[in-house]
Chain A
Amino acid sequence: MKKTLTINLANQVFHIDEDAFHRLREYLDRIEGHFADTNERSDIVSDIEMRISELFNQRITQQKQVIVIQDVEEIIRTMGDPAEIGGEEQAETKDYTRVSKTKRLYRDPDNRVLGGVCGGIGQYFKIDPLIVRIIFLVVFFGFGIGLLIYIILWIVVPEARTTAQKLEMRGDPVNASNIGNFVKDEFENVKRNFQGKKKSQG
């Protein structure tokens, strides 16, 4: 005996085994993730869902009323892996990543004492901003030009405002999954700060 779920796939009702459901859910999620950065996603996904529901219908009979895991596995083989489906555009995707993978110097608004110049330089060279700050102070007191350099950099170097700019600042390629990770990290940070505040208040 197995537990089944009822799903609505392209406006068709199907009874599906629990394990088969999870396999299908995971597959559709991967397809959706694959086209995440294009505006064609919803069209493509709904077309594919429609085709899958058609294939499901062919497998339903009076004697077999439930979609089982073998059905899902076979249909996934017929439809192909997201990488194969999108495989045709490989060359374009590669170019896109290369273009936006450039590392740029930004001022880091999340790691600032004054304008975030030292934080940004630290990110750029992957060193601790504290060391950059000490060097600036030494140059300031030793030679008297550190402050001038700092002010010029403050004016000239743009601040990393958007997520894409922050990724560029770190030298990470700007693509959908990295933006996703970045947003998740930010969210975790906010949550931690919030919990920390609650604790210190309580």
Chain B
Amino acid sequence: MDLENVKAQMRKGVLEFCILSLLSKGDAYATDLLNKLKESELIVVEGTLYPLLTRQKNAGLLSYRWEESTQGPPRKYYALTEKGREVLKELQASWKGLIDSVASLVNQ
């Protein structure tokens, strides 16, 4: 068993869920998301975020718009789409179920 791969797979699923959750609280540009994810140590290298954002955008979960910034070039702001909200709701439900079942299993 490749432990690193298992960990990476685990983190990936959770990371996608976290990105959607963060965006449900308000639109954000990639660096905002990065800072929050790094604070909670969910992301090790920054580059990981961009393929995920692009894939979620291509899957229709996110949309983006350009917004002028006072400190530098325009920024790409991401927002949840209607579909993104539905997916997030489903993920939240399955996340809660997962925590409960794992907790009861591990603590048996």
Residues of A within 8 A of B (CB): 10-12, 31, 35, 39-40, 43-44, 47-48, 50-51, 53-54, 57, 78-82, 84-91
Contact = CB atoms under 8 A, between A and B. Distances in A.
B50 A88 contact: no
B5 interface: yes
B54 A11 contact: no
A88 B51 CA distance: 10
Contacts of B45: 78-81, 84-85
B9 interface: yes
B67 interface: no
Main secondary structure of the interface of B (DSSP, over half): helix
Contacts of A88: 8-9, 11-12, 15, 48, 51-52
Given A84-B44, A88-B8, A88-B15, 9 more contacts: A10-B73, A40-B51, A44-B54, A51-B31, A51-B46, A54-B31, A80-B44, A84-B47, A90-B5
Interface of B: 5, 8-9, 11-12, 15, 30-31, 34, 44-48, 50-55, 57-58, 72-73, 76
Given A35-B51, A54-B31, A40 B58 contact: yes
B50 A80 contact: no
Contacts of B72: 12, 54, 57
Contacts of A85: 45, 47-48, 50-51
Looking at B11, B31, B51, B53, the one whose CB has the most chain A CB atoms below 10 A away is B51
A72 to B, nearest CB: 14
